[in-house]
Amino acid sequence: PNGPQITMDLSGAQGTMAVEWMNPIDGTISDRTTVEGGAQRELKIGSGGDRVVIVTRTEDGKKTKAPPVEGKWKLSFEDNFDGDKLDSTKWIPGYEWGQTHNYNAYCDPANVLIENGLLRLKVEDKPSHDKKYTSAVITSYNKFSQKYGYFEGRFKIPMAKGFWPAFWMLPYPQHWPPEVDIFETIKDDPKVYMTYHWSEDGKHKSSGKHWTDKDFSYSGDLHTYGLLWEPDKIVWYIDGVERARF
């Protein structure tokens, strides 16, 4: 399209849409992104000259899919963040113990944002409550807990110095260890860390692996990070592919 922008109404679309800018002469793709469809949502696209905009539904849309492991699964918890605020029946915008943890940031509930069918955890270079930075977190503590099963979420991970995004599980009632890190990335280290922490004879033990790939886009695309937890094993998955096992 020509002009400053076009607006695409995706109010009737459900799931994740792939948006591509195609040269109509040679068919080359000059740019691509993804956007979540849903009620009363629009996508504003900056112009790129004479280009055809192609919108297609991707295979990793919001429709609940079976885990990448065999079994008769029953869905026990799900949140697609379709509203305009955090669902307080499922989450709290903090930790069980408060708004800070073992990093130099205060987790402000105001930095938990629900926009266009996505949860956004906002990080700011702004001091707060004797911490150097302001960040955000959500947990399901005292809202939902489950022993054994398959757990997953879709994420875009920021890759820059100072960030420590994570998707992890702690026991209910709260104590430590154990802890299962479904994923962690540390600062600007291009690796996904998958770790299990436990106690043995009163001493902290841990076992984990890390994974990366030169073509893996941490922040450019939504990826599914999953964990199978059974009495005799813990298995980590990234986009449905097994990447670690304990």
- Which residues carry out catalysis? 179, 184
Residues 203 and 205: their CA atoms lie apart, in Å, by 6
Q: Which residues contact 145 (CB under 8 A, 6 or more apart)?
A: 172
